[in-house]
Amino acid sequence: MFEYLKGYRCIFVSGMQRSGTTICARMIQWDLKISTCYWAGVKTDRIERYFNNPNYLFTKYNPLLLHSPGPSHCIHEYTAEDVAIIWMKREVEDVMASAKKVPWNPTRRAFSAYGIKTGSVLGIENKVKALYHAKQNYWEKTQKFQIKNWYEVEYESLAEHPLWLGKEDRGKKLKTRQIKPGGTLQGELEHLKRDYPEESK
């Protein structure tokens, strides 16, 4: 499904939180057989740790995969001929429903990155909606025009991938779908192969 990303040295997976960035990163990792997916955190320092560090010699045969919904406001700054940036798209109502279920509450840092004062938005649902529109507007009007290789992925399209789980099956096979702060998905390919032996052949 994501074979078209082969050849890039670095792949960012970004967008609004709760829009499917995690499962999309897993699917890319699976399709391209990337051993590790790094969590980019909420500040640029973690991106810098990997992106410009000579100790991480990532190539088109072993790309750097960065799960980056937190620092989405600055991903356009890393554009290059050998960098691909994926932006997840999901309906705002579905994002709000997912945030409510977890639950997930946008942080003050997330708002400040887009120039929004948290005191002006009350209630978790309103905060999620406000951040969603801020991110989407910045992406549509500013960011993607500055990016050399950008791709938009509709959340619903992920259902075509063999790693996709319907609502009734989620949590049964993959106990931890979310990438934990400060962590990676190192060794995740072996874990996925155990859960999906047929698809991994």
The CATH number covering residue 62 comes to 3.40.50
Mean pLDDT by 10 residues, the chain (201 residues): 95 96 94 86 74 74 89 93 97 95 88 81 86 96 97 96 78 48 44 47 44
Asked if residues 8 and 60 have their Cβ atoms less than 8 Å apart, the reply is yes
pLDDT for the residue numbered 172: 53
Task: Look at residue 137 and tell me if it is in a domain.
Answer: yes
Range of the structural domain that residue 169 is part of:
3-195
Q: Which of 12, 38, 170 is nearest to 102 (CA)?
A: 170
The H-or-E segment that residue 14 falls in is: strand 10-15
Task: Look at residue 98 and tell me if it is in a domain.
Answer: yes
Task: Look at residue 131 and tell me if it is in a domain.
Answer: yes
* 3-state SS track over 18-35: CCCHHHHHHHHHHHHCCC
Asked if residues 7 and 60 have their Cβ atoms less than 8 Å apart, the reply is yes
Place of tokens 């810098």: 48
pLDDT for the residue numbered 165: 82
Q: How many CB atoms lie within 10 A of CB 30?
A: 21
> How many angstroms from the chain centroid is the CA of residue 32?
16
Reading phi first (left if > 0) and then psi (alpha if -120 to 50, else beta), residue 41 is in: left
**Domain tally for the chain?**
1
Task: Look at residue 13 and tell me if it is in a domain.
Answer: yes
pLDDT for the residue numbered 94: 96
Task: Look at residue 39 and tell me if it is in a domain.
Answer: yes
Task: Look at residue 201 and tell me if it is in a domain.
Answer: no
Task: Look at residue 200 and tell me if it is in a domain.
Answer: no
Please report, in angstroms and rounded to a whole number, the separation of the first and last CA atoms in the chain. Answer: 16
Task: Look at residue 161 and tell me if it is in a domain.
Answer: yes
Q: What are phi and psi of 124, to 5 degrees?
A: -60, -45
